[in-house]
Amino acid sequence: MEPLSVSFTTPTAEKTRELGAALGRLLHPGDFVALLGDLGAGKTEFARGMAEGCGVPPEEVASPTFALIHRYQGRLRLVHADLFRLSGEDDLYGTGYYDVRDAEQAAVVVEWADRVPSAVPEDALRIHFDAGPGEMERRLTATPTGPVSARRLQQWARDVAPLAVPAPG
Ligand SMILES: Nc1ncnc2c1ncn2[C@@H]1O[C@H](COP(=O)(O)OP(=O)(O)OP(=O)(O)O)[C@@H](O)[C@H]1O
Ligand SMILES: [Mg+2]
């Protein structure tokens, strides 16, 4: 069966964070969310929202850091990684990412996840961010690649239905 995509548009960064928060409230340990799309598309805004939705104190998420991997503790542990600066799998091994991803009872959100294909497990919720059409608008298209992510998308889409738009294609 083809995975069913769901699209949303958000008119502001705040709405993008709200979408992320709604997903964060549903996350279970072991969930994996891959954030894809160009520089400035809104991936970090969304990840911030996810952390808030997980119950992570906002000041913790807002604090600037240059670490590749952030670990937040809310009602569950949330791992947030950004692979933009990586050149490949060897780089990523060196960071301990795979241990953190597989050994900890955490939900995981990764920006630029496609930089290293093996960073993404088989069952992941892939969310693609596109800019426009308006200057502040973003379109998010979420596609599940397995049963767990499909279930999560279904729950999330129900909770944020007012922001849904028809999926492209
Ligand atoms: N609707 C919107 N949703 C999200 N961000 C928006 C929106 N409108 C404007 N913005 C602005 O766009 C920028 C998005 O930046 P953000 O860091 O989230 O992008 P990113 O995808 O993580 O980029 P990078 O690939 O560099 O990590 C922010 O400055 C934000 O305020
Ligand atoms: Mg970012």
Q: In the predicted model, what is the mean pLDDT of residues 3-21?
A: 93
Instruction: Evaluate if residue 2 carries a pLDDT over 70.
Output: no
Residue closest via CA to ligand 1's atom 23 equals 40
d(CA 126, CA 139): 13
The verdict on residue 167 lying in a domain is no
Q: Which atom of ligand 1 is nearest to the CA of 12?
A: 1
Residue of the CA atom closest to atom 6 of ligand 1: 13
Q: Which of 115, 154, 142 lies closest to 33 in space, CA to CA?
A: 142
Q: Is the pLDDT of residue 132 over 90?
A: no
In this structure, of 63-67, 109-113, 164-168, the range with the lowest mean pLDDT score is 63-67
* CATH number of the domain to which 154 belongs: 3.40.50.300
Q: Which ligand is nearest to the CA of 134?
A: 1
* 60 occurs within a structural domain: yes
Q: Does residue 169 fall inside a structural domain? A: no
pLDDT of residue 128: 98
The verdict on residue 61 lying in a domain is yes
Q: Return the residue whose CA atom lies nearest to atom 8 of ligand 1.
A: 136
Would the pLDDT of 83 be above 80? yes
Q: Is residue 115 part of a domain?
A: yes
Average pLDDT value for the chain: 91
Q: Do the beta carbons of residue 148 and residue 19 sit within 8 Å?
A: no
Tell me how far the alpha carbon of residue 19 lies from the centroid of ligand 1, in angstroms: 13
Residue 103: its pLDDT value, please? 80
Which residues 6+ apart lie within 8 Å of 169 measured at CB?
none
Distances (CA, A) of 99 to 33, 39, 56, 90: 17, 27, 22, 14
141 CB within 6 A, ligand 1: no
- Give the pLDDT confidence score for residue 167 in this predicted structure: 72
Q: How many residues would you count in the chain? A: 169
Domain that holds residue 27: 6-162
Q: Is residue 54 part of a domain?
A: yes
The one-character DSSP state at 96 is T
> In the predicted model, what is the mean pLDDT of residues 68-73?
90
Number of domains in the chain: 1
Is the residue at 168 inside a domain? no
**With contact defined as beta carbons under 8 Å apart, do 141 and 34 qualify?**
no
Alpha carbon 144 to chain centroid, angstroms: 12
pTM confidence score:
0.94
Nearest CA to ligand 1 atom 2: 13
pLDDT above 90: residue 81:
yes
> Is residue 48 in a domain?
yes
Q: What is the mean pLDDT of residues 78-90?
A: 90
Higher pLDDT, 1 or 27: 27
